Amino acid sequence: MRKRARLLGCLALGFLVIAAPAAEAGAKRILKLGTVLPPDNVITLNATEFAKRVNDRAKGEVEVVVYPQTQLGNEREIAEGMQLGTVEMAAIGTGILTNFVPEAGVTGLPFIFRGWDHLEKVLRSPLADQLSDMILKRTGIRTLGWWEQGFRVTITTKRPINTVRDMEGLKIRLPEEKVLIRTFQLLKAAPTVIPWGEVYTSLQTGVVEGMESTTPAISTMKFYEVAGYLAETNHQHAVVQLLVSDKVFQSLSKDVQDVIRQAAKEATNINYQAARAASTASWDQLKAKAKQTTFPDLKPFQEAVQPLFKEFGEQTKTQDLIRQIQALQ
pLDDT in tens, 78-111: 999 999 989 999 999 998 999 899 999 999 999 9
The C-alpha atoms of residue 223 and residue 134 are separated, in whole angstroms, by 35
- pLDDT beyond 60 at 2: no
pTM for this model (two decimals): 0.85
Are 179 and 297 within one domain?
Answer: yes
Please report whether residue 13 resides in a domain.
Answer: no
Are 24 and 170 within one domain?
Answer: no
- pLDDT beyond 50 at 6: no
The C-alpha atoms of residue 189 and residue 39 are separated, in whole angstroms, by 32
Instruction: Tell me if 229 sits within 8 A of 159, measured CB to CB.
Output: yes
The C-alpha atoms of residue 233 and residue 298 are separated, in whole angstroms, by 7
pLDDT of residue 318: 96
pLDDT of residue 26: 58
pLDDT of residue 329: 85
As for how many domains the chain has, the answer is 2
Are 242 and 171 within one domain?
Answer: no
How many secondary structure helices (H) and strands (E) does the chain include?
13, 11
Please report whether residue 274 resides in a domain.
Answer: yes
pLDDT of residue 85: 87
Residue type, 307: P
Are 166 and 128 within one domain?
Answer: no
Are 171 and 191 within one domain?
Answer: yes
Are 201 and 256 within one domain?
Answer: no
pLDDT of residue 4: 41
Please report whether residue 12 resides in a domain.
Answer: no
pLDDT of residue 90: 98
Please report whether residue 3 resides in a domain.
Answer: no
pLDDT of residue 27: 74
The C-alpha atoms of residue 256 and residue 55 are separated, in whole angstroms, by 10
The C-alpha atoms of residue 58 and residue 80 are separated, in whole angstroms, by 27
Are 44 and 63 within one domain?
Answer: yes
- pLDDT beyond 90 at 119: yes
Please report whether residue 191 resides in a domain.
Answer: yes
Give every strand in the sheet of 152-156, ordered side by side.
190-193, 171-174, 210-214, 152-156, 229-231, 292-294
- pLDDT beyond 90 at 207: yes
Instruction: Tell me if 172 sits within 8 A of 210, measured CB to CB.
Output: yes
What's the pLDDT band for 9 if we cut at 50, 70, 90?
very low
Q: Say which CATH number the domain at 264 has.
A: 3.40.190.170
Q: Which of 232, 233, 221, 132 is nearest to 183 (CA)?
A: 233
Among residues of the chain, what percentage have pLDDT more than 70? 92
Please report whether residue 10 resides in a domain.
Answer: no
Are 226 and 246 within one domain?
Answer: no
Residue type, 189: A
Are 157 and 140 within one domain?
Answer: no
Please report whether residue 329 resides in a domain.
Answer: no
Give tens-digit pLDDT for 51-78. 999 999 999 999 999 999 989 999 999 9
- pLDDT beyond 80 at 5: no
pLDDT of residue 152: 96
- Would you give the end-to-end CA distance of the chain in angstroms? 86
Please state which of the ranges 7-11, 115-119, 243-247, 317-321 shows the lowest mean pLDDT.
7-11
Are 106 and 198 within one domain?
Answer: no
What's the pLDDT band for 176 if we cut at 50, 70, 90?
confident
Give tens-digit pLDDT for 180-190. 999 999 999 99
Among residues of the chain, what percentage have pLDDT more than 90? 87
Are 213 and 254 within one domain?
Answer: no
Q: Which domain holds residue 74?
A: 19-150+238-280
What's the chain's average pLDDT? 91
The residue that leads in pLDDT, 104 or 19, is: 104
Are 38 and 109 within one domain?
Answer: yes
The C-alpha atoms of residue 179 and residue 249 are separated, in whole angstroms, by 30
Q: Which residues contact 55 (CB under 8 A, 6 or more apart)?
A: 62, 63, 64
Please report whether residue 326 resides in a domain.
Answer: no
pLDDT of residue 316: 96
Give every strand in the sheet of 240-245, ordered side by side.
62-67, 29-34, 89-93, 240-245, 141-147
The C-alpha atoms of residue 122 and residue 329 are separated, in whole angstroms, by 9
